[in-house]
Structure 1
């Protein structure tokens, strides 16, 4: 035996110890992540003040409507209001000013104005508005080199802005100080929608942030495609100034989930502010409009319940700490009225089975949302080293199930290659290792199960039920190794805030299926490599029948449906959404359907039948879907570990119960067949 063969044989025995060492290293890392997740328990419901103003513009008494609705919001658990940077249009909606074009001013004053003039004429509605808004408006337009001059109409003070009204209404100013003071006096928290539409001047931004801090503002929601201070990807100097000012005034960020594109500069600003970030779930105007459609009372109740479920799920399952509520007035032609969804939104919050009581029951409290207190001890760097070795060992173990002779070479090459990747890109290093370990763990688990099932077929001794139950437990424990490596290798705060993502969900679903399929076709039988190659050629050269084409189409359709339901944007049918909601509301945490309804029960039945039927091993093969799902559950790094753990346990428990029912049905059918078929033949 060559030296390589000796070392290869020794390594095969030692790889599992490296895997176990990596798993042990991951446990305290996972515990510190759990501590981080538990450090932020306040949930903040925020309403868009501009939306409220726009709805009020459809009412007969806009100011009274705004006052009444703010009282209702306070009553129903909405503790904060989002205020935008001001525009002339928003000040007009607030009834603080009135605006006229040159043409309208001519008609109003009956005074001729030059035909070449196209200015904006402004009248202040109240003395208080003039005192507080005049300096703000003058400063804004003078900074744009736009002249302003006093104007009045019937003793009402005003202003002429030498800019076309359509353009002037788009110019951004500091948030309305009158509105902010009013909201503060009523006990609301204030969240500011901050944009990058104005030139960044550090001294002016410092003054603004100081004023906002004094008004109780502690967080920004970015309004637009770029964060304040962003100029380009290469020039981050102004971003760094902005971050320093935000830290100085203790103001953080809110990251809107499920955005197609992250705002430019957001990640840099988040990092520079030491991740003073909360995750935000947006209930959009379009979402609100669905509550104003022509619905029966029952349909409306169902939609309100769906909104409540959505809020609870966001907070509990996705680390959301800020829920941003939007609404708009909608013309209902059939009823001949203008409707708004505010009352329906209130019902979703604290109506029957509303979101807020359920959120409180889950251990959260209403209040100003704050960032996670990220727990990361120095020893985690040592733990990451052990996880590195363990992950490479797990990958090498999987390879050994196919070609055991190259295990040592695969292990050494894996170490060298990953070390090079660590030097080049440390973030990608963790993702690649996590993906490799997460893919190999369920693959290894099912390959182990197939070997165990085959041995039991050859030596059918012992309890069939005991074997199938223990096989499910052992297989799932092997899959858990993948969970620990994903959690341990990807324990960074930016994954919790989804500022970076582990984009391996589809691979984690499909790759184990492909790996165990190849193992099933070519490696379950003892044969030489030449024979395996010949068998592969035979499979590839097989004549294709119509039945095969139909089967392939069915499998492809099933695969497409399988993939369409994975990931954060997975699609589900209306019935499935209802079933999911039922499970969520009944159990608190919804187990995955493919685990407890399909994969685990069929796996149990396969283990039970493996004593007698070789074809039963195919049912064990189906178990890879459930095992991959177990690992994939923890690949959603924004979901708390407690929730993911409960989800997996529920899947195994309910999957076992359904599996036992399948076994009982099989026994009844099998015994009935054995009893009645001989009698039918005799007759």
Structure 2
């Protein structure tokens, strides 16, 4: 048995336990149930405008399908608005009561004496109590209107009794004193179902995180996509996590209700979000249309509405077998290059992955090596494309087996080396074109007379590769992704699990490149472009927060659409070539 055959056998054998190692993740990834949660502050603002109570306005949304509400921690400013506190500047009070000792530049609060004492005990700032005009005043050297003061316990109890899914939004403040566990003072209501921190940092950040953990009572904490909150990663090691999706109000108002609904359904179906955090439109009719579309689309996607479940799982020890497949693939890559370059190149990839990704070197190696293997076998015609796809899918299994853990699936830890997965494979394919007698080949290349057509084609190919790298992800700049493509993406998204355009392009180019007798340098250039699309298959699965089934359908749809377009392209190019050659 040749070394190459032995290594291929090891890859096949390693696939079996690696596939079984994916079982825990697959069981945890079933979409739903999701909670439809509305922003409590937005409801409160609407209640004021309509002249209704908070609970009346909330009940109106409940009749439209809302089952949860986010309650913000109250601030001093809220208590002032509710008439529970009276606020005055020290200068004004000193004019009224010149003998009372009020300080200029300080802010003072008056209200129930017990409430004032509770408030003062929550802050690590200088304070004083004064009595004047028959009132007790709490003074502070800074304006404390934005300082947190706890929650409305009666409101929380009523909402819970009515069956709402309660999300509590605590506020972190630099000079806040966190109560000791067991002190009887609760920052989070016991009735809370989930916690979503308000602002850009979590409770207790940066110096009281350890003290904050027991105060959160083991409640799930919401991970807001694209909104990093300082200190969240530390809390997530101790507390269960739910993925949350929301849109900023200013962005939502630029979109139609149907467009907003599509984004929320996509988040629940393809990115594993469990809390859909909604804000109403200025017009109730628009919100009504949004909720109706959202519920219908969730039902069509077989995603139930209910109480979200924490997606936790224990990675299988069988995942370690994937290392056998990755190293066998690395060895196969080394054998595919002419001596003496194969093994040094494999060594550079191994050491580079270990140095860059450290404990995550296995998934990175799989993403760099397996897209290349099919191109090294030099099979005729579409057999080369098929080999490239099969090797890529094998690499997908090893990547997913080694990289799938709860934190990665939640999106708390990302794949290391995403850009490398689109750059390194086509470069490795290009290196494979060098003949064994590489020195004379380089001399011929150096002495080759430049032609405008050849230079143009090379620059065009390099531009396409650069464009593929710049366009990675969903956040590429609008100048890079034109409006017509965004609309096409939206249409495909409604029709199917949308494939990536890089993969469609590669699969469509394969028949044209491999079934027509091109000059070698043109064919090799097209193979490099195809390699970008094959590498994109591994790149797709490197987004661990996307369920495996969704990524698989994305890849399969890309193959199907690409081959259909490639077949049509082959017919057109053959006829054009026949016409051109006479």
- Following superposition, the deviation at residue 580 of structure 1 comes to 0.9
Indicate whether 1:181 and 2:121 are aligned: no
Greater shift after overlay, 317-326 or 664-673?
664-673
Residue in structure 2 matched with residue 80 of structure 1 by the alignment: 68
Q: How big is each residue's C-alpha offset from its partner over 1:489-544, in whole Å with a ceiling of 9 and x where there is no partner?
A: 11211101111110322111111111112223x13xxx42xxx1232355356666
Distance 1:369 1:227 in 2: 21
Distance 2:116 2:161 in 1: 24
Indicate whether 1:658 and 2:565 are aligned: yes
Q: Among residues 283, 294, 300, which one is paired with 1:361 in the alignment?
A: 300
Residue in structure 2 matched with residue 281 of structure 1 by the alignment: 245
Indicate whether 1:592 and 2:567 are aligned: no
Indicate whether 1:290 and 2:254 are aligned: yes
Distance 1:628 1:407 in 2: 20
Q: Supply the RMSD in Å over aligned alpha carbons.
A: 3.6
- Following superposition, the deviation at residue 475 of structure 1 comes to 2.7
Indicate whether 1:347 and 2:272 are aligned: no
- Following superposition, the deviation at residue 219 of structure 1 comes to 1.9
Residue in structure 2 matched with residue 42 of structure 1 by the alignment: 33
Residue in structure 2 matched with residue 141 of structure 1 by the alignment: 120
Match of 1:645, SS state, is helix
Change in CA separation of 1:136 and 1:581 when aligned onto 2, cut-off 3 Å: farther
Residue in structure 2 matched with residue 300 of structure 1 by the alignment: none
Residue in structure 2 matched with residue 443 of structure 1 by the alignment: 372
- The number of residue pairs the alignment matches comes to 574
Distance 1:582 1:632 in 2: 23
Q: How big is each residue's C-alpha offset from its partner over 1:124-171, in whole Å with a ceiling of 9 and x where there is no partner?
A: 7xxxxx6xxx64443121454634467889xxxx7532236x612132
Residue in structure 1 matched with residue 487 of structure 2 by the alignment: 578
8 Å Cα contact 1:605-1:619 kept in structure 2? no
Q: How big is each residue's C-alpha offset from its partner over 1:189-209, in whole Å with a ceiling of 9 and x where there is no partner?
A: 221122442223323676416
8 Å Cα contact 2:107-2:143 kept in structure 1? no
Distance 1:343 1:81 in 2: 20
8 Å Cα contact 1:29-1:491 kept in structure 2? no
Q: How big is each residue's C-alpha offset from its partner over 1:105-135, in whole Å with a ceiling of 9 and x where there is no partner?
A: 799x9999878555656577xxxxx6xxx64
8 Å Cα contact 1:194-1:228 kept in structure 2? yes
Q: Structure 2 regions of 5+ residues with no counterpart?
A: none
8 Å Cα contact 1:430-1:490 kept in structure 2? no
Change in CA separation of 1:139 and 1:582 when aligned onto 2, cut-off 3 Å: same
Write the mapping of 1:377-396 to structure 2, written as runs, cut at 5 A. Answer: 380-381=316-317, 383-396=318-331
Greater shift after overlay, 510-519 or 180-189?
180-189
Distance 2:285 2:87 in 1: 32
TM-score with structure 1 setting the length: 0.74
Residue in structure 2 matched with residue 562 of structure 1 by the alignment: 468
Q: Structure 1 regions of 5+ residues with no counterpart?
A: 1-8, 125-129, 233-237, 292-302, 328-338, 454-466, 678-683
Indicate whether 1:510 and 2:419 are aligned: no
Write the mapping of 1:81-100 to structure 2, written as runs, cut at 5 A. Answer: 81-94=69-82, 97=85, 99-100=87-88
Residue in structure 2 matched with residue 253 of structure 1 by the alignment: 221
8 Å Cα contact 1:505-1:567 kept in structure 2? no
Distance 1:537 1:343 in 2: 72
Change in CA separation of 1:433 and 1:502 when aligned onto 2, cut-off 3 Å: same
TM-score with structure 2 setting the length: 0.86
Residue in structure 2 matched with residue 220 of structure 1 by the alignment: 195
Distance 1:142 1:622 in 2: 65
Match of 1:203, SS state, is coil
Match of 1:45, SS state, is strand
Change in CA separation of 1:370 and 1:342 when aligned onto 2, cut-off 3 Å: farther
Match of 2:65, SS state, is coil
8 Å Cα contact 1:53-1:94 kept in structure 2? no
Residue in structure 2 matched with residue 646 of structure 1 by the alignment: 553
Change in CA separation of 1:51 and 1:664 when aligned onto 2, cut-off 3 Å: same
Match of 1:309, SS state, is helix
- Following superposition, the deviation at residue 664 of structure 1 comes to 3.0
Q: How big is each residue's C-alpha offset from its partner over 1:650-671, in whole Å with a ceiling of 9 and x where there is no partner?
A: 1111112112222333454456
8 Å Cα contact 1:142-1:148 kept in structure 2? no
Q: How big is each residue's C-alpha offset from its partner over 1:252-288, in whole Å with a ceiling of 9 and x where there is no partner?
A: 21111123x4422x22221123xx1011123123323
Change in CA separation of 1:533 and 1:205 when aligned onto 2, cut-off 3 Å: farther
Distance 1:196 1:121 in 2: 22
Distance 1:413 1:576 in 2: 38
8 Å Cα contact 1:283-1:323 kept in structure 2? no
Larger Rg, first or second structure (1 or 2) = 1
Change in CA separation of 1:106 and 1:361 when aligned onto 2, cut-off 3 Å: farther
Greater shift after overlay, 199-208 or 174-183?
199-208
- Following superposition, the deviation at residue 648 of structure 1 comes to 0.9
Write the mapping of 1:182-221 to structure 2, written as runs, cut at 5 A. Answer: 182-197=158-173, 198-203=176-181, 207-208=185-186, 212-213=189-190, 216-221=191-196
- Following superposition, the deviation at residue 13 of structure 1 comes to 3.3
Match of 2:276, SS state, is strand
Write the mapping of 1:582-621 to structure 2, written as runs, cut at 5 A. Answer: 582-587=491-496, 589-596=497-504, 598-610=505-517, 615-616=522-523, 618-621=525-528
Indicate whether 1:500 and 2:413 are aligned: yes
Distance 2:326 2:298 in 1: 38
- Following superposition, the deviation at residue 479 of structure 1 comes to 1.2
Distance 2:343 2:458 in 1: 38
Change in CA separation of 1:480 and 1:536 when aligned onto 2, cut-off 3 Å: same
Write the mapping of 1:422-571 to structure 2, written as runs, cut at 5 A. Answer: 428-448=357-377, 451-453=378-380, 468=382, 471-520=384-433, 522-523=434-435, 527-528=436-437, 532-540=438-446, 554-555=460-461, 557-571=463-477
Distance 2:258 2:83 in 1: 36
Q: Among residues 288, 291, 305, which one is paired with 2:258 in the alignment?
A: 305
Indicate whether 1:23 and 2:33 are aligned: no
Q: How big is each residue's C-alpha offset from its partner over 1:362-390, in whole Å with a ceiling of 9 and x where there is no partner?
A: 222222323113143xxx32x33322122
Residue in structure 2 matched with residue 160 of structure 1 by the alignment: 137
